[in-house]
Structure 1
Amino acid sequence: MGKEYLRGWDIACPTLKKVQIYFMPTKPQLSRPPLERMLKIHAALRRGELINSSQLVAELEVTRKTIGRDIAFMRDRLDLPIEYDAKRAVYRYTHQVEAFPTVNVTEGELLALLVAQRALEQYRGTPFHRQLEIAFGKLSDGLRDRISFSPADEIRTVSFKNIGLGKTDLAIFNPLSAAVLHHNEVTFSYRKPGSSQATQRRVHPYHLAHRENLWYLVGFDVEREALRTFALPRILKVKATAEKFVRPPDFSPETFFANALGVLGGSGNHKIVIRFTAAAAERVREREWHESQEMRELRSGGLELTLRLGALEEAKQWILGWGAAAEVVGPASLRENMRKTVETLVERYTK
């Protein structure tokens, strides 16, 4: 795969493996794309038509050399049984071909792709959603004559639902994603949580990440001389400048978010210990909360969870969500913060 594909959308997305696809150049073309030409040639040959170069040149609006290269690729690289009949000056298939071999996946792999497509529905509206939707369509169409189940029926057995899914404004997302891809500095107004006033920012955009059901931009704030995380719903008036930047070679989103429970990391190194009641323990065991997590079973049937995080505030909010089923053992500063918060809640609910 060429470098232009490796430099694609710099976003946090899973990598699909074991799918063999013949990628065509992304440069603008005046003629039909090569894959489209070959599919048309395949369709004609599959119908049993005897076609010659003159017909293909007229129909596909390309030169004879281009037709020759396409047919050579289909015969030599895709192993399609194309034969040239010199007496009649026509091409034909020597035997029946069921499907154009652009993909090679099993039924299980196709079903996994379709499940992934269903999961993408919750991100509808972002630019890559439509591109992936088209790609999934091509994959399933390519296997239409080679599968023994109905993807449409199977996919109805799977659904996805996230609470609090963030809204995506394409007027914000599009220029930011382009700036990340092309390494252009951007300016925008940004409003911090709880603030009614927005401030102007100059940022080198490094990465777009979808975490905790919300899109975030990770970038270097030029005036503050530090890496910052910006929630897209709080970004206004994005403008890409002509100023280029070089992303540090040692930057990686995995490292940046390594000590964050969700989004907010930090420079600290906090060992957070939480005890869960027996009623909540099963739900805690069932999930992977963080790479650093350690679990210890308690005699009471409860569970002790240990996390190593860079900041405490995000952990505090998560622990509060468990209510009385969770108790902070340490650090002492977090336990004291939780105690004060509980006192405030008691006062609020006893008025």
Structure 2
Amino acid sequence: MTKTARLYKIERLIRQRQHVSFAGLLAELEVSPATLKRDLEYLRDQLGAPITYDRELNAYRFEATGGGSALARSTARHELPGLWFSERELYALLMAHQLISGLDSQGLLSRHLQPLLDRIHELLGPGGENDSKALMKRVKIIGALRRPVDATCFERVGEALIRRQRIAMRYLTRTRGEVSQREVSPQRLVHYKNTWYLDAWCHQRERLLRFALDAVQEATLTDTRAKDVAMRQVQAEMDTGYGIYAGGTRQLAVLRFSAQAAPWTSHEEWHPEQQGRWLADGSWELTLPYADETELVMDILRQGEQVQVMAPDSLRAAVRRRLAAAAALYVGA
């Protein structure tokens, strides 16, 4: 039995039986007297459990904390924070913490979760701590093409999102190279391809827009309450396109992947609403919706000669133009 399981069982036995002798605990836990003494000391000294030894009962019980009869006081319930997690669940939390840490290079989220991480190490105990630290070294997140977000900006956006306040920000629109002043009501944060975005109601444009947080040059919370937009509307307007681009007329793209690429692409999710099928020659046909072709074209180009756009003609033409422009760079090289 692990230490975490033993601590939980000691607490549960005392709660259910009101008082348990040292011999009774030994019989239930099947550990040495020295180990049981260490566990009782750990519960009292490290976790603050009000466990006391009652000489009259020759047993351990929770210390009386309220009024009423002596029996009622002795059975006062005590919850050990965090001990409703099993050891397996604690290790799962460590894995989740490591995954979150890999989302951002500046530790925007993980440093706020550090107290939880320390608590998990404490609950696992000295023996488990070494294992837990070793486990975290065996999980590596590689974030390619990451665009770092200023820590102060991220925290202010998160605060505004939770407190439902508007944000005044200076924002760089990269496609036009323009910097503008915006006031927005944040609706949700989106993490996509190692980059953070904010879906917000723009009070200048009077509509929902998606802002890249790394393009926010300055952000300040205002005293004005944010405009609340129903999440159904946010999802309907921002999630119907392909990738990070929202809005536009919805179309269906039909892509055909070669038999060589099919074993991999048949397991990939390009869009939550995609449909795929195997063809007689071993190729894989993928049909997916899109609204703005910008990101879809980039993802198609990454596949090189392993994919062919079958429809619509406008998407075929867009890919053809980009391929021709790329090939022109190598003419005579």
TM-score exceeds 0.5: yes
CA distance in 2, matches of 1:220, 1:332: 34
CA distance in 2, matches of 1:209, 1:244: 21
CA distance in 2, matches of 1:310, 1:140: 47
SS in 1 for 2:298: helix
CA distance in 2, matches of 1:240, 1:102: 34
Q: Which residue of 2 aligns with 1:310?
A: 291
1:120 pairs with 2:77: no
Q: Bigger shift: 104-113 or 340-349?
A: 104-113
CA distance in 2, matches of 1:182, 1:298: 52
The one-character-per-residue Cα deviations of 1:83-129 (angstroms, maximum 9, x if unpaired) are xxxxxxxxxxxxxxxxx463233443333222212212222535432
Q: Bigger shift: 142-151 or 315-324?
A: 142-151
Deviation at 1:238, TM superposition (A): 1.3
Max radius of gyration: which structure?
2
Kept in 2, the 8 Å contact 1:202–1:221? The answer is yes
SS in 2 for 1:242: strand
Deviation at 1:140, TM superposition (A): 3.6
Question: Matched residue pairs, number?
Answer: 279
Instruction: Decide whether aligned partners of structure 1 residues 320 and 76 sit closer, same or farther in structure 2, where only a CA change above 3 A counts.
Output: farther
Q: Bigger shift: 194-203 or 210-219?
A: 194-203
Q: Which residue of 1 aligns with 2:23?
A: none
1:200 pairs with 2:178: no
- 1:297 aligned to 271, 274, 278, which one? 278
Instruction: Decide whether aligned partners of structure 1 residues 270 and 312 sit closer, same or farther in structure 2, where only a CA change above 3 A counts.
Output: same
1:109 pairs with 2:89: yes
The one-character-per-residue Cα deviations of 1:184-231 (angstroms, maximum 9, x if unpaired) are 222212111243331111211222221121111111111211111110
The one-character-per-residue Cα deviations of 1:61-92 (angstroms, maximum 9, x if unpaired) are xxxx9x649xx99954447xxxxxxxxxxxxx
CA distance in 1, matches of 2:290, 2:278: 21
In structure 1, runs of 5+ residues without a counterpart are 1-19, 21-37, 51-64, 80-99
- 1:135 aligned to 91, 110, 116, which one? 116
Let me know the Cα RMSD of the aligned residues: 3.3
Deviation at 1:149, TM superposition (A): 8.6
Q: Which residue of 2 aligns with 1:33?
A: none
Matches within 5 A, 1:55-204: 68=66, 76-78=76-78, 100=80, 102-122=82-102, 123-144=104-125, 150-204=131-185
Instruction: Decide whether aligned partners of structure 1 residues 150 and 171 sit closer, same or farther in structure 2, where only a CA change above 3 A counts.
Output: closer
CA distance in 1, matches of 2:297, 2:180: 28
CA distance in 2, matches of 1:125, 1:74: 49
Matches within 5 A, 1:25-64: 40=45
Deviation at 1:236, TM superposition (A): 1.4
Deviation at 1:307, TM superposition (A): 0.6
Instruction: Decide whether aligned partners of structure 1 residues 311 and 49 sit closer, same or farther in structure 2, where only a CA change above 3 A counts.
Output: farther
Question: Could you tell me the percent identity over the aligned residues?
Answer: 24
CA distance in 1, matches of 2:203, 2:164: 14
Instruction: Decide whether aligned partners of structure 1 residues 192 and 49 sit closer, same or farther in structure 2, where only a CA change above 3 A counts.
Output: farther
CA distance in 2, matches of 1:74, 1:311: 67
Instruction: Decide whether aligned partners of structure 1 residues 200 and 286 sit closer, same or farther in structure 2, where only a CA change above 3 A counts.
Output: same
Kept in 2, the 8 Å contact 1:189–1:201? The answer is yes
Q: Which residue of 2 aligns with 1:342?
A: 323
SS in 2 for 1:104: coil
With the length of structure 2 as denominator, give the TM-score of the two structures.
0.73
